[in-house]
Structure 1
Amino acid sequence: MPNSVPTVTVPDLPNGATLLDVREPDEWNAGHAPGALHIPMGELAERLDDLPPDAHLYVICRSGGRSARVTQYLNANGWDATNVDGGMQSWDALGHQVVAEGGADPQVI
């Protein structure tokens, strides 16, 4: 990427970090971090008002590619955002809690 994107690994996320999950609804429904905010990448431009205005956002997707693009976009538009490298795959692999919608067994897809 031409511009560097601020990045953090899952183990280095600060306690109480505001996670913004930009995956598609089927990925979110299958399994996501508890307390994360869900705005699919394709809906972000029209849902900027849904973002907490003063929070530092930690942007997460499955592996870190989509979230890096969203982080770059947010930082260019006045937000304070950091990409979560490794995404939900890393989150899950490190044993962090994953919850699913509708009572299904949570999984990262």
Structure 2
Amino acid sequence: MREIEIGEFADAWAAGAPVVDVREPWEYRNAHVPGAQSLPLGQLGDRVTQIPAGAVVYMICASGNRSVQGARILVTAGRPAVSVTEGTSGWAAAGRPLDTGEDGSCPHH
């Protein structure tokens, strides 16, 4: 299972790569990478089919721990995925843009 740094992730994000944020909904609402799909880690296994097939999916959480687990779940399900090592914290620390609130890209339970 591959992990990538913020710089490499930023390039993929800018190119429109799919991003899945596996943090809890309240964490996502507070701040997230623009365009990231909210899909909490605890629900990921049951909802893999909601993630676009084909392209490498970039998994992100707060600091890189949950995204490793999320990427493993996807890879086990036959989907290409990588984990962003420093997570949303690293993204914010690098001065990258953040969105807040719901984005409507994924149904919330």
Query: Aligning the two structures, in what range does the TM-score lie when normalised by the shorter sequence?
Result: 0.7 to 0.9
Q: Report the 3-state secondary structure (helix = DSSP H, G, I; strand = E; otherwise coil) of the residue aligned with 1:46.
A: coil
Gaps of 5+ in 1: 103-109
Are the counterparts in 1 of residues 44 and 73 from structure 2 also a CA contact under 8 Å? no
| Cα distance per residue 1:62-106 (max 9 Å; x no partner) | 00000001111211110000000000000000011111117xxxx
CA distance in 1, matches of 2:85, 2:49: 25
Say what the alpha-carbon RMSD is for the aligned residues: 1.1
CA distance in 2, matches of 1:68, 1:50: 19
Indicate the residue corresponding to 1:82 in structure 2.
82
Aligned residues, how many? 98
When Rg is computed on C-alpha atoms for both structures, the one with the higher figure is 1
- State the 1:16 CA deviation: 2.0
Q: Report the 3-state secondary structure (helix = DSSP H, G, I; strand = E; otherwise coil) of the residue aligned with 2:46.
A: helix
Identity %: 34
Q: Report the 3-state secondary structure (helix = DSSP H, G, I; strand = E; otherwise coil) of the residue aligned with 2:59.
A: strand
Indicate the residue corresponding to 2:69 in structure 1.
69
Gaps of 5+ in 2: 103-109
Q: Report the 3-state secondary structure (helix = DSSP H, G, I; strand = E; otherwise coil) of the residue aligned with 1:68.
A: helix
Tell whether 2:2 aligns with 1:6: yes
Are the counterparts in 1 of residues 45 and 73 from structure 2 also a CA contact under 8 Å? no
Q: Which amino acid aligns with 1:33?
A: V
Q: Using structure 1 for the length normalisation, give the TM-score.
A: 0.85
**Equivalence map 1:1-109=2 (5 Å):** 5-13=1-9, 14=12, 15-101=15-101
CA distance in 1, matches of 2:42, 2:62: 15
- State the 1:61 CA deviation: 0.2
CA distance in 1, matches of 2:65, 2:3: 11
